[in-house]
Each structure stands twice: as C-alpha cells, then as structure tokens.
Structure 1
C-alpha cells in the first residue's frame, strides 16, 4: 500500500473512525484501525469496529499502490492530530512489518497488526430515508438525557426510533422520566412504512455519539436492518457525506409508553424558560440529598422553593400564565434541569393532573403557540 493525501483529510478520517475503537479490549486486532487504499476509486477508507459499533470514513487520496493494513488506532489518532501544519501532505506506505507515515520533516513507523485477526466489518444496510442532520442531533440529545444506565434492563439504555410515513419519532425513558421527540423525515420511495411503523431500539450512548459527530450541514441517511421484521435485534446504519457508522440494535421490548401520558390535564402554566431554569438551579442549592424542590402554581405566578424548618431554605417567584387549578408539585431538581435544558424555546408549558401523577413539559416559542414536537414527562415526588 502506498498513497498520498492532505494532513487535514487524514486527521478527519482517523478521528471519525476512532469513535468505534473500544476503550479496552483483550483482542489486539480490535484496537486497530483498518486502512484500505483503492487505486481505481482514488480513496483511502479508514475503519474502526468493536463488534458493537463500526465507523468508516472514505477520503480522497492519490493511491500509488492499493492494499489494506491494520495499525494501532489510538496511536494513529494521536499522531494525526500532532502532525505539522504548513500545507504538508501525508504519505503512507507499507515497509515490511511497519507502515511509514511521512509529513514534511516528520516521519513515523507504526507496527502492523495481523490483518487476518480483524473481524469482518458489517455492511451498511439499504437506507430507509433521510433526515436533517442538525435536527436529528438535537432530537437525539433531547431524548438521550432520560435514557437509563441499568444494563440489567436493556430497554432503559436505548432510544426507540419509530419510522412513520413522514415523521421520525424518538423515545427514551429511565422509568421516572420519559422523553418523546418528533421531527420531519423523508422515506425512500421503496420503503414507505406500512400502517404500523418500523421500530428500532438503538443503544442511547452509541446513537448520541454518532448523531452529534455526523456532519451537521448534510442530511443523514438512516438504514435499519431488523431481525424477523422488528426492532428486537439487528443492525442500524447512518451515513452522511464521507462518514458511515453502524451499531447493533438492542434485543429488548420497549414499554407501552403512549399510555403513560395523561389523556387530559387539570391545569397548566406557561413560564419563560430561561428564568425558570436559573431559579431551579439556584434554589436547588439548598436541597438536601433525596429532598424535592417544590413548584407552587397560583394565578399569575409560580414559586420555586426548597428546604424545611430545620435546614436551609430558598424561595423565588416568577411570572406565569396560569390556567385552572392551583397546585404544588414536588420534583427532583435534576430532572427539572434536564428537561428545561433540553427544551430550546423561549417559553415552557408545564401541564399536570394531580400532585402524584405525571407532569409534562413542552416548549413554546411564542406564548400563544404550543409546540408538542418535544414532550418531557416526569414523575412528581412526595413533598417533604
């Protein structure tokens, strides 16, 4: 193998593929990045794989000799970042049991990892449709905030993707909170969903990393390949520009989340989001471990308070547009911060039924115009 490409291109390709390198691995081959030079296409493909996630980047290169080689991934990533600037190109070539990397006055030799020990990379499935990259990254971040970490309950660690006719819906929960986000989506002509949506349960951590790292200025092609026609196992792929990634699907059933949302609310309050978020953070400083923060709603205002007679106390009142029954809700301060941070609009609407049943946060860019594309449900706590 022998090729030449720009320093910036190599650094970008290696940084993307390194997302799939395992933090620790007992198999030396998995710690490597696979470099494949194609003379006909004039490309260098850099790939990483850890049996769970794969990442590929196809870069333009001047290929003098085609071939494939496996090199230590973390080391190559560190070197690619540290190469000198000044318009230098990078030359990569195999030299016996090493790969030579030359960039201007700098030269490195990297040991080769036996290629026969590297597992076969999963192929990218056929795309089902495309979605705006920036919107998708935002949506994943909004629901990933509630995904659980309990590996004993795999469905809690995933984000459910529902592929409807013109809408992509993302759902996640940790049993105490539930987040749902909908965004426009363009299915391919050949894969318009049937009456029931296609569903895939994707590991939240992997999906969050992939979504925020894909090119934000391009549309992302999403390609689920499900086992036995459902989301309980299989593979899902993502592609944007020169980047591709796949991750396994979780073999678990998701909860019937639709039934958790109240059919009707007894009241709601519309509050400016920024001041409410700052008030919650501020008053939460006086809460003891496991003690709730209280939201007291009455005509024209909401009071955020915490603490009791034998401990520190805090209180702040904010203006609110209030409908129907006054109420006091006790809530985990961290849950409120997560929900208010995930919502990006100027105002939030908090809808409720009783002090012991789920409450729901949604956004409003204008005080008169509700937006239900993102819903953040949380369970109130017992007031201390």
Structure 2
C-alpha cells in the first residue's frame, strides 16, 4: 500500500475517524484506524470501531499501490498534523509497520496486521431514507442532556427516536428528568420507524455534519442504525430494551402556571447557582406577582433573586430543584419564553416551550 495526499486533509480525516476507535486496553486491534486504498473511482477509506459504533471516512488521495494498513488512532493524527510540508506519503512496511514521510521527516508507525482488525458491519443501502440534517441536529440538542451517563442502565443512555410521516420525535431521560422534543419533517421514511439510539452516537453524527446543507441518510435495521452525510458513514448498535412510556410521565393537573422570558430566568438561575455546592438545591417560590429563586450553602454563601411574573394565585408554592437539571431544562427550551407549571412541592414540575414542541419534566428535591 502506498498513497500520497495533502497533509492537513489527512490529519483532519484521521482525527475524525479516530473518535470511533476503542480506548479499551483489551481491544488493541480496535484502537487503530484502518486505511484502505483501492484503485479506480473508489476513494481511500479510513475506518474505526469500538465494536459498538463504526465510522467510515473518505480520504482524497493519490493511490500508487493498493492495500490496507492499520494506523494507531492515538498518535497518528497528532503526528501527521505536526509534520511540515504540504504533502505526506504513507507506505506499508513489514509486520504492520507504516512509513510516514513528509519533506525531510521520516517516521515509522508500528501498527498491527490488517487481518486482526474487527469485521465491520455493512452499510444498509437498501433501507436508507433521507431527512433534514439541521432538523435532526436541532432535536438532538434539545434532549441530549437529559440522557443518563450510567452505563449500568443502557436503555437510559440512549434516546427514543421516532420518525413519523410528518415529524421527528425524540425523548431522553435519566429518571430524574425527562426531555421530549419534536419538529416537522419535510423528508421522512415511507413508514413510521423508531429505535433507541445511543446519544453519544447521535452527538457524533451532528458533529460530523457540522454546517453541511446535505440531507442526512438514515437506515434503521433490526440491530443497527446507520447515518450518512457527505460520504461519511456512522453505524451504531441499537439499544435493546423497553424505553419508559414518556407520554405517561408528563404531569397532569397543573394548577399553577406562568410564562416568563427565557433569558431573564436563565440568567437568574445561573447567578443563584454560583453559591450552590454539591447537592444544595435551588429553592423556587411562586407567589402573587413574583417568582423567587434562592440557594444557600452552609459556611459558603447564600443568595436570592426575584422576578416579577403574571401570577395571581392565592396559594404560594415552594419547591426545590437540582441546579444543573433546572439550568439544562431552561437552556433547552426553544424560543424566547418558557412556560413553568407546578403542582406542589412534592410533584414533578414542567418546563415547556410556548409552541408545545418541547417539554421537560424535572423531579423536585425536598427542601
């Protein structure tokens, strides 16, 4: 194998592919990026996998000799980027070694034999459909922070993604909060499809797409979900299991509701949050004409602020929230205003967009 290409282009593409490589010590072969060079119109391909997520990245290069090599994912992008000169050459040596030359620089990377690289899943071209990439990215951004990071509960580390005829719906929860977002779709699959997809993988899809205006290709298979854009392909295993019935978790019987400017509320929550330490709650008090937010950490600091609101209820409601969860919910609401709905100090609260396309349930903390 021997190729020649632009150095910065190779460094960028290697860095993209390396994000899917495994970081686990017991998966040494998966800690590499496979470079495959073919003649003809087929582009050079960089591929990496951690056995859950697989990423294929095209590379513009001149192929002098066909073949494949494995490049160490941890150091190859850094080395290529640090070299000087516009062009870099990669050629295969013996026993998995790869010779890298650029200008007067010459380095040898000690890779592994190509046949030790894990077998990659095929791209499901048969079931691909196209959808709007910017819409997908927008909905992911609304729900991703509510997903769990606890790997012992894999279902909650993903989001339920549902493609319907005219809209996209996503829901994510870590059992302490729940985010649900939807958006209209100009392009949709021929029939309704849904899957629990790892949030980490969807964030990577959004990162790869960047500001691209190309449509996003999606295929939802029995065990695998595939995304494609601008020649890049990401495949990820579906999360098996039963996602919570999120519609049943939306609070009913909300008796106290206000609409407030999003930016004003967010700035107050951020300032009050400065005095929060560890598990200290943010206390919210809704009374006639006023929403008060306060926090106190013993021997550190305390603070309180009030916002005038259009509320004339006879009952005063006091409720405690996790500061991070409250801030995340407010930041995720689209638009300039936020609707806050309360039932009691012991019942979940509801944050909602004015147009109803996003809602966020947050559990209270005892105060």
- Normalised TM-score (structure 2): 0.90
The SS at the match of 1:113 is coil
Q: In the alignment, is the contact (CA less than 8 A) between 1:42 and 1:63 conserved in 2?
A: no
Q: In the alignment, is the contact (CA less than 8 A) between 1:220 and 1:238 conserved in 2?
A: yes
The SS at the match of 2:74 is helix
Q: In the alignment, is the contact (CA less than 8 A) between 2:45 and 2:57 conserved in 1?
A: yes
Identify the residue that residue 138 of structure 2 maps to in structure 1. Answer: 138
Identify the residue that residue 254 of structure 1 maps to in structure 2. Answer: 243
1:93 to 88, 91, 94: 91
Is residue 2:295 matched to residue 1:306? yes
Cα distance change, pair 192–336 in 1 and its aligned pair in 2 (3 A): same
In the alignment, the residues of structure 2 paired with residue 312 and residue 213 of structure 1 have an alpha-carbon distance, to the nearest angstrom, of 43
Is residue 2:109 matched to residue 1:116? no
Identify the residue that residue 160 of structure 1 maps to in structure 2. Answer: 160
In the alignment, the residues of structure 2 paired with residue 306 and residue 29 of structure 1 have an alpha-carbon distance, to the nearest angstrom, of 50
Deviation sequence 1:85-104 (CA, Å, 0-9, x none): 5xx12222223343222223
Within-5 A mapping of 1:67-78: 67-78=67-78
Deviation of 1:335 after TM superposition, in Å, equals 1.2
- Once the two structures are overlaid, the 10-residue window that deviates more, 300-309 or 147-156, is 300-309
Deviation sequence 1:308-351 (CA, Å, 0-9, x none): 99985421111323375653332221211111222353221112
Identify the residue that residue 366 of structure 1 maps to in structure 2. Answer: none
Identify the residue that residue 27 of structure 1 maps to in structure 2. Answer: 27
Identify the residue that residue 173 of structure 1 maps to in structure 2. Answer: 173
Identify the residue that residue 209 of structure 2 maps to in structure 1. Answer: 214
User: How many equivalent pairs are there?
Assistant: 363
Deviation of 1:80 after TM superposition, in Å, equals 2.3
1:338 to 323, 328, 343: 328
In the alignment, the residues of structure 1 paired with residue 89 and residue 314 of structure 2 have an alpha-carbon distance, to the nearest angstrom, of 71
Within-5 A mapping of 1:51-90: 51-84=51-84, 88-90=86-88
In the alignment, the residues of structure 2 paired with residue 334 and residue 66 of structure 1 have an alpha-carbon distance, to the nearest angstrom, of 52
Deviation of 1:264 after TM superposition, in Å, equals 4.6
Structure 1 segments, 4+ long, off by >6 Å, are 308-311
Give RMSD over aligned pairs: 2.4
Is residue 2:346 matched to residue 1:377? no
Deviation of 1:295 after TM superposition, in Å, equals 1.7
Deviation sequence 1:234-287 (CA, Å, 0-9, x none): 111111103111111111111111111134532321222222222122223444
Q: In the alignment, is the contact (CA less than 8 A) between 1:43 and 1:62 conserved in 2?
A: no
Deviation of 1:205 after TM superposition, in Å, equals 2.4
- Normalised TM-score (structure 1): 0.86
Identify the residue that residue 192 of structure 1 maps to in structure 2. Answer: 190
Structure 2: which 5+ runs fail to align?
none
The SS at the match of 1:253 is coil
Deviation of 1:105 after TM superposition, in Å, equals 3.0
- Once the two structures are overlaid, the 10-residue window that deviates more, 300-309 or 106-115, is 300-309
In the alignment, the residues of structure 2 paired with residue 139 and residue 243 of structure 1 have an alpha-carbon distance, to the nearest angstrom, of 21
Structure 1: which 5+ runs fail to align?
227-233, 364-369
